């Protein structure tokens, strides 16, 4: 992925760090630090991070799955944030905390919680975002202005809910993008990768087309799906790539569940999963997702 630079150059922005430090200090937080949301929270749509892709102009985008409309919405992000999100989706273990990991650790150490992130406005071709935190001793949530790319990189680590304004969803759909051949994809709480011949042999998988499960959350996990399974069919088709898995999930008729066939430990299984965004796993250990690929 040519657009991804080394993580040591990543920066969340001094404004966010100052906000977090002030958040737990004895210094009063000034009202001007809290930008007002452009849209009320209950008017926004909850989405799921699916994967990283490339826009037509060569810039990285994060693809967000909108369950109710079976759409995938691209949002422009920076190269550093693309790397950070990609690492989190893959469950890559870093030897030392990187910038977004550090901020999540700071929030947790101070007994705070990143509850939600918002992408609430698109103004002059710039996306605007917001962090929503629960703070000890404060009844109302604290909202802090943020670049959406940083907010999304934090959400994928913390399990925070992701909410997008309808107007932003409509505008972003006009962005053309192309999926990456080696990228992982998440949909309905199931993260999948391409299956290599080495992995097929190591996991004793059948010689069938499919994608390999590397992480599972929500209803799919409750139904018995586990990392190491080979998904061979989604609705009416076999997924041969992670992007095809996402596209097949999107063919699920509104109001129905997605039908999944998979092979695990020598047996074929079937399950049906809602297309709704799974309940977030708060502060899950994203560095240990099940199997490393």
Note the pTM of the prediction, 2 decimals.
0.80
* Predicted pLDDT of residue 152: 93
SS3 276: coil
The domain spans of the chain are 13-179, 187-273
Longest dimension (CA), the chain: 62
Q: What share of the chain is helix, strand, coil (3-state, %, to 5)?
A: 25, 30, 45
**187-273 CATH fold:** Pdz3 Domain (2.30.42)
CA distance 234 to 67: 16
Note whether 52 and 86 are within 8 A (CB): yes
Give me the mean pLDDT over the 33-60 stretch.
Answer: 90
7 pLDDT above the threshold of 50: no
Segment (H or E) for 45:
strand 45-55
The class that CATH gives domain 13-179 is: alpha beta
Number of continuous H segments (helices) and E segments (strands) in the chain? 8, 14
The string of pLDDT tens digits covering residues 179-206 is 887 789 999 999 999 998 888 888 889 8
The string of pLDDT tens digits covering residues 92-139 is 777 777 778 888 888 888 888 999 999 999 988 888 999 999 988 888
142 pLDDT above the threshold of 70: yes
158 or 287, greater pLDDT: 158
């Amino acid at each position: 992925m040519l657009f991804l630079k080394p993580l040591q150059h990543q920066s969340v922005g001094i404004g966010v760090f100052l906000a977090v430090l002030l958040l737990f200090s004895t210094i009063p937080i000034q009202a001007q630090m809290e930008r007002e949301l452009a849209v009320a929270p209950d008017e926004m749509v909850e989405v799921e991070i699916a994967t990283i892709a490339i826009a037509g102009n060569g810039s990285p985008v994060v693809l967000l799955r909108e369950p109710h409309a079976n759409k995938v919405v691209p949002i422009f992000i920076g190269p550093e944030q693309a790397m950070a999100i990609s690492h989190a989706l893959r469950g890559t273990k870093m030897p030392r905390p990187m910038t977004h990991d550090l901020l999540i650790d700071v929030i947790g150490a101070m007994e705070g919680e990143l509850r939600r992130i918002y992408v609430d406005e698109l103004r002059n071709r710039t996306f605007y975002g917001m962090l929503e935190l629960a703070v000890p001793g404060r009844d109302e949530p604290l909202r802090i202005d943020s670049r959406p790319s940083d907010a999304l990189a934090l959400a994928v680590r913390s399990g925070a809910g992701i909410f997008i304004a309808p107007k932003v969803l409509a505008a972003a759909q006009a962005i053309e993008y192309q999926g990456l051949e080696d990228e992982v994809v998440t949909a309905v709480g199931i993260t999948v990768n391409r299956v290599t011949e080495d992995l097929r042999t190591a996991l004793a998988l059948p010689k069938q087309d499919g994608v390999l499960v590397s992480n599972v959350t929500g209803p799919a996990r409750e139904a018995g799906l586990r990392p190491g399974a080979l998904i061979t069919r989604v609705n009416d088709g076999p997924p041969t790539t992670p992007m095809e898995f996402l596209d097949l999930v999107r063919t699920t008729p509104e109001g129905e569940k997605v039908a999944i066939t998979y092979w695990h430990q020598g047996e074929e299984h079937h399950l049906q999963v809602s297309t709704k965004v799974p309940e977030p796993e708060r502060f899950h250990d994203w560095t240990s997702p099940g199997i490393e690929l």
